[in-house]
Structure 1
């Protein structure tokens, strides 16, 4: 009677194990197959009261010490000044090659050293203000009709999470939006949650976290999405991607466990014969 009881128990265990294996396999197949993410970007929603954060205008970046400024005169793309020598101009902290302008580092006192002009105070100015100041000084002292282009080349934004090319992206012009920055990173992945995009802005006590919902059409005009130097963008995973990842983690230990159980059952069956 005891052998019959053991056989019945073993048959029951085998049946339950088979059901568990089939169920696990079906769930794994259902969640692991490739699918096209149906991201609901820029959908129109009913108008509600405007958030006070959305009313705030973005603060323009002001030049600081240690910033790197790329400056060139568009009237002559080779030099910052038309009367420059036949080789690339280099003065003080300036450097750079032909056609791309010169790069000057803002010193601790807030000045840069420019050809002919000498030390020019630029710290505290916005990029357009600094460009106009240098343009006016060259027009007054040397050039007839200079057109000065100025870029702050050390500014950047960091993209993390569910974007195709995460990393640091230079912030070379004013008023770049979150959508443009994500586009430069190759766009969202299929595992991205377009309703939960975080912009981490500022440092220390002044740090803020803004949650942006790109499924809302109004996010395009949200001033919080104007990128600022040092912003960190984090794109969270959607629920399906999280489930798939959790199931894959589960399978890393379930499959070895099933293999051990199956081996033990085979050994037990052989010893019963």
Structure 2
């Protein structure tokens, strides 16, 4: 009878252990597999203009009067005095779903799909020499951001002021993966040519350095999937207390019966 009680106690302990799972070192240590193929590693990165981008386009030249129509300022007007109030700011150009912007004087311009350098060359060809001689053109994306969610410390959307970020830097911004986050199957969703494309990366491998999504692009979404143990724990949390109570009751009843 005493042995039966001991066996039941061990059974309870075993069932409770099954509710949790140990994480091995090989599941959490980054860059432990594969050698880096240096010939495939590239540090070049190009920003591609996409729909919904807000472009800040600043044009300067020796002839300040000539560039004024192309540097529109966004100001707030008072309805009572019909006068401008506040500080004038550079107007942003929204890239519509056709990849176009409405540019001063010139009109509609197709900019979607161009890199920053290509867009600068394109605008230069439109302005010089008909409107401005030897213009200096600066372009940045005002709403450049990436989003990361799932099993990370600080999920959310992050604005990237310098318009350049790697997937490793994005994970660092989010406070790193939780121990229960799957490091070998991280999903990156990106819009390409109007389609949602999903990539998978493995942080356990050095091959992440040659991944097409090593450098993230604006509006990329990174998702970290929880591991099996985390999923099981989440699904069982609501029933754990009841399970322990019922199991304890069964042990008590069996102990009384077998006395």
Q: TM-score, with normalisation over the residues of structure 2?
A: 0.63
Normalized per residue, the structure richer in strand is 2
Q: Does 1:130 align with 2:111?
A: no
The structure-2 alpha-carbon separation of the partners of 1:257 and 1:100, relative to structure 1 and needing over 3 Å to count, comes to farther
Distance change (3 Å), C-alpha of 1:169 and 1:184:
same
Report the equivalent of 1:189: 178
For residue 73 of structure 2, what is the aligned residue in structure 1?
89
Q: In structure 1, what is the equivalent of residue 210 of structure 2?
A: 221
Counterpart residue number, 2:57:
71
Residue of structure 2 equivalent to 1:149? 139
Secondary structure of the 1:90 match is strand
Which stretch of the first structure deviates more once superposed, 230-239 or 34-43?
Answer: 34-43
Offset of residue 133 of structure 1? 4.0
Structure whose residues are more often helix by fraction: 1
| 1:119 aligns to 2:110 (yes or no) | no
5+ residue gaps, structure 2: 76-85
CA contact (8 A) 2:53 2:141 kept: no
Bigger RCO of structures 1 and 2 (CA < 8 A, at least 6 apart) = 2
Using the alignment, how far apart are the partners of 1:251 and 1:215 within structure 2? 33
Q: CA deviation at 1:28?
A: 7.7
Q: Write the distance in 2 (CA, Å) between the matches of 1:137 and 1:130.
A: 11
Of structures 1 and 2, the larger Rg is shown by: 1
Do the aligned partners of residues 15 and 106 (structure 1) sit closer, same or farther apart at CA in structure 2, a change above 3 Å counting? closer
Q: Would the alpha carbon gap of residues 219 and 112 (structure 1) be closer, same or farther in structure 2, given more than 3 Å must change? A: same
Which residue of 2 is the match for residue 61 of structure 1? 48
2:243 pairs with one of 251, 254, 268:
254
Q: Is contact 1:72–1:102 with CA below 8 Å preserved after alignment?
A: no
Describe the superposition over 1:69-102 as per-residue Cα deviations: whole angstroms up to 9, x where unpaired. Answer: 2334589xxxxx9769xxx8239xxxxx859632
SS of the aligned residue for 1:168 comes to: strand
Distance 1:132 1:58 in 2: 18
User: How far apart, in 1, do the equivalents of 2:194 and 2:95 lie?
Assistant: 27
Q: For residues 186 and 156 of structure 2, what CA distance do their matches in structure 1 show?
A: 16
- Cα 1:262–1:47 change in 2 (3 A) is closer
Question: SS of the counterpart of 1:163?
Answer: coil
User: How far apart, in 2, do the equivalents of 1:105 and 1:185 lie?
Assistant: 28
Distance of 1:163 and 1:237 partners within structure 2: 9
TM-superposition CA deviations, 1:134-153 (whole Å, max 9, x none): 46666753587634232152
User: Alignment RMSD, CA only?
Assistant: 4.9
SS in 2 for 1:194: coil
Partner of 1:17: 8
Distance change in 2, residues 1:147/1:99 (3 Å):
farther
- The DSSP-based 3-state class of the residue aligned with 2:168 is helix
Q: Normalising by the residue count of structure 1, what TM-score does the alignment of the two structures yield? A: 0.60
